[in-house]
Amino acid sequence: MHCPNCGQQQVSNETKFCSKCGLPLGLIAQVLSHGGFLPQLAELNKKKSVFTKKSGVVFGAFWFIFFTMLLTSILGIANAPDEAVGISAVIGFFGALMIIIGSLVFLRSSRESAIYPHEQMAAHPSAHGIHGSQQRALPPQQTVPTSAYTAPQAGRWRDTHDLQPIPAVTEETTRLLDNERR
């Protein structure tokens, strides 16, 4: 293993510090041994959040069912004023709409967005680290036989003597300054 900081080759892969610059190599050796990622990072992503887009949409659906269907029916059966039944239906519909839209816009996805866990690396072979088990191969060699290259036909040669190099801006400026001095 070579030190990524100074390039010094180490005696062993188990070396804790670089013998030249002192860079801690324990973490680097761990990254190399696990195929280019740290298992501790996968542990961070296992924490489940209660507030996700999916849970927000489910809560909005329950809000709609409770206020619009259940509470409105109960208030109607209990002979509540018509205004209370109407307010319950409006709160149920628009409240659920706001909760669902708000959760879709502001809450994070319920899908796990891991940083190269083993499960997702198997699905993406190109995501393997330096020493990953599946390396992408170069495309097969492509050759063009020399018989494909032929000399131009007689009379079709291009005269390249007519191509003059374009002078640089500094050359033109220098020439103009020299003309002014004379």
- The pLDDT of residue 117 is 46
Sign of torsion over alpha carbons 101, 104, 107, 110: positive
Per this entry, what is the length of the chain? 182
Q: What pLDDT, on the 0 to 100 scale, is given for residue 144? A: 74
Looking at residue 80, its pLDDT comes to 92
Return the SS3 of 9. Answer: strand
Mark the ranges of the chain whose per-residue pLDDT is less than 70: 44-48, 112-136, 149, 151-164, 167
pLDDT of residue 136: 66
Query: Cα 72–78–79 angle (5° rounding)?
Result: 90
> Which pLDDT score, from 0 to 100, does residue 124 have?
45
pTM metric for this prediction: 0.41
Tokens of 106: 């502001």
Reduce the secondary structure of 137-159 to three states and give it as a string.
Answer: CCCCCCCCCHHHCCCCCCCCCCC
